[in-house]
Copies of this chain bind each other. A is one copy, B any other.
Amino acid sequence: MVYALPYICRPMDTKHALLQVAVEIFADSGWRGTTTRRVAEAAGVNEVTLFRHFGSKEMLLQAAIQWVAARDLPPRLPETPEHLGTELLGWGLGIHMHATRHAKVIRTALAEFEEHPELAPVACEGSASAGEDAVRYLTRARELGLIAYEGSLEAATMMLMQAIFMDGITRGVVSGCDLLPADEAVRAFVDLTLRALDARVVA
């Protein structure tokens, strides 16, 4: 006797279910921990179906990382700065939220780059473009006379972004990050950056 309910609980098609579950298990357990049996079982799908869709574990994981990276992009800054303080704070909070939301995958991917370098470009694309975005924004702000600092805006951007990013992916995992609540920390980082840049904050 078989209780056949596959056609009952199939919220999205098989392929997307497998991608979603693969990302989650990868985030929790890394490359080696993501076994095809676990993924198939968690997706409510036969293991053979997994191989029929993706061919191999490697292709499944690459597709999964690519899929999740393309689905949720980090926030962007406006083309021309108007309210430096407000805009940069909103951006910082967005980056932090983005990092927190994907903290587990990011931490895992960061470790797996050693053994699976092919993951790096697709996984880093988002944060790289966010950095370029911020540099462009600050450069424009300096052109507009909103920033007096004459040093490297790349360095200032890197400092702000890396601090926010690191806070986002380690919060709750590493002791010593919880001295300040998340949004207060981001606010402080943005404030300190604007002070360092001698910014004339308008709003």
Chain A residues 147 to 170 lying within 8 A of chain B, measured CB to CB, are: 149, 151-152, 154-156, 158-160, 162-163, 165-167, 169-170
Number of residues from A at the complex interface, CB < 8 A: 55
Stretch among A1-9, A15-23, A53-61, A105-113 lining the B interface: A105-113
Which residues of B lie under 8 Å from residue A202 when comparing CB positions? none
Which residues of B lie under 8 Å from residue A49 when comparing CB positions? none
Q: A159-B189, A167-B162, A189-B155 are in contact. Are A107 and B104 (CB under 8 A)?
A: no
Count of this chain's copies in the oligomeric assembly:
2
**A203 interfacial contact with B, CB 8 Å:** no
Report whether A114 and B174 are in contact in the complex, using a CB–CB cutoff of 8 Å.
no
**A70 interfacial contact with B, CB 8 Å:** no
Q: A104-B114, A110-B110, A175-B121 are in contact. Are A180 and B158 (CB under 8 A)?
A: yes
Besides A158-B163, A159-B160, A160-B163, 15 more A-B contacts (Cβ < 8 Å) are A28-B114, A30-B32, A110-B170, A110-B174, A114-B173, A124-B176, A128-B174, A151-B191, A154-B179, A158-B167, A158-B179, A159-B163, A163-B166, A195-B195, A195-B198
